[in-house]
Amino acid sequence: MEWLYITMPIAGVEIFWPGLIVLGLGVGIISGFFGMGGGWMVTPGLNILGFPMAFAIGTGIAQMSGPSLVSTLRHGRFGNVDYRLGVIMVLGTVCGFEAGAQTIMWLERIGRVDLYVRYAYLALLALIAWLVFADIVKKRRKEQEALAAGRKLDALSTGIEWHKRLHRIQLPPVIHFKKAGIRCSAWLPIGVSFLTGWLAGVVGIGGGLIRMPALIYLVGCPTHVAVGTDLFEVAISGLYGAATYSYKGRTELLAALIMAAGAAVGAQIGSIATKYVRGYGIRLLFGLAVLGCALSIIFKLIAAANPGVRSLFDGAATVLILGLVVVLAGHILIQFIRGVREELTLKRKPLVRSSL
């Protein structure tokens, strides 16, 4: 079975290449569906496959630039990308990210930065999970109330409506974001992207995991537009990440290429699957992904605090993340297959009728 292994020319390690394709496929599906880069899933996956940590981070980020571009273009075709909003948010994100990096340097001078960062990350994930599930519960309650009153709830109604309050701040320039269907002060997306960029910089992640819910709950984007617009940002930040890590010599191009091949296929599947799933269905799955991610951080914290059980909990965190990739990607794939079947059946129906 030697042909299943390939020597990585730069890292100098033997890698099981079908594992790279499967990992890329899974992460691509999740990334295209939720609108995030998925670095938190790729890094432990590459590490398990045998990459040293330094190469795992760089390679994971480098492979992101291909599939996120594919997903952005696909979502763009579906009308899910507000490019104007995306460009404005990129500016805020970049400034926020730099401010986050400065904050980390300041924290390093205080000491115990890793612990603070992990706790901050955990608190952030808990907040996002609470937001998502509180929103779903509130929306369901509204639906039930409307049903009891004998009327139908507006398809565009939401559970949590913080964005409506924020839209009332009409600080010039006020911009109409056509695809997102919102009219607000330009300072709102700038402020939100600065904040999410800063948080991403502090906790050391790409930011898609924070930006996607921020686009929904603070900026007021419909779920599908939040996914597409966030992917536009991921494509740009992924490109920058690929450049910076490659320049630092921390990218294994061959592995990134093999992964990107699988991820590009997955990105198409994930992006198209959003066609068949309602916005709140995406939010629910996203909430579960965030919970899984939070649980893995708890395992890492337990491992760091108790050297005796370190390997056990570190291993559990990795297994949890990879299990999450398998379950989520599998579920999205099933939704995709069901949706495609229904679409094709609907297309064939009129032909059957006319032939009768």
Provide φ and ψ at 329, rounded to 5°. -65, -40
**Cα gap 213→264, rounded to integer Å:** 24
Assess 239 for contact with another protein (CB under 8 A): yes
Q: List the one residue from 16, 48, 73, 204 that touches another protein (CB under 8 A).
A: 73
Least distance to another protein from the beta carbon of 15, Å?
13
* In the chain, beta strands by DSSP E: 5-7, 14-16, 174-177, 182-185
Q: Which residues pair with 15 in a beta bridge?
A: 6
- Residue 125: CB atoms within 10 Å: 23
164 binds another protein (CB under 8 A): no
Q: How far is the CB of 299 from another protein (least distance, A)?
A: 30
Q: In the range 90-149, which residues lie near another protein by CB under 8 A?
A: none
Q: Describe the crossing of helices 39-49 and 17-34 by its angle, rounded to 10 degrees.
A: 170
Q: Is 246 near another protein (CB under 8 A)?
A: yes
Q: Which is nearer to another protein, 267 or 325 (CB)?
A: 267
List the one residue from 29, 263, 317, 332 that touches another protein (CB under 8 A). Answer: 263
Binding to another protein by residue 57, rule CB under 8 A?
A: no
Apex 85 CA angle, 223 and 61, nearest 5: 75
What are 64's two structure tokens? 């992101």
For residue 47, state whether it binds another protein (rule: CB under 8 A): no
* Apex 209 CA angle, 157 and 33, nearest 5: 65
Binding window for another protein (CB under 8 A); candidates: 62-70, 106-114, 167-175, 310-318:
62-70
Contact 320, 300 (CB under 8 A): no
From 81, 121, 99, select the one nearest 191 (Cα to Cα): 99
Q: Residue 65 or 296: which CB sits closer to another protein?
A: 65
CB of 79 to another protein, least distance (A): 7
> What is the binding site for another protein (CB under 8 A)?
7, 9-12, 62-63, 65-67, 69-70, 73-74, 77-80, 155-158, 222-224, 236, 239-240, 242-244, 246-251, 253-254, 256-257, 260-261, 263-265, 267-268, 272, 274-276, 278-280, 340, 343-344, 347
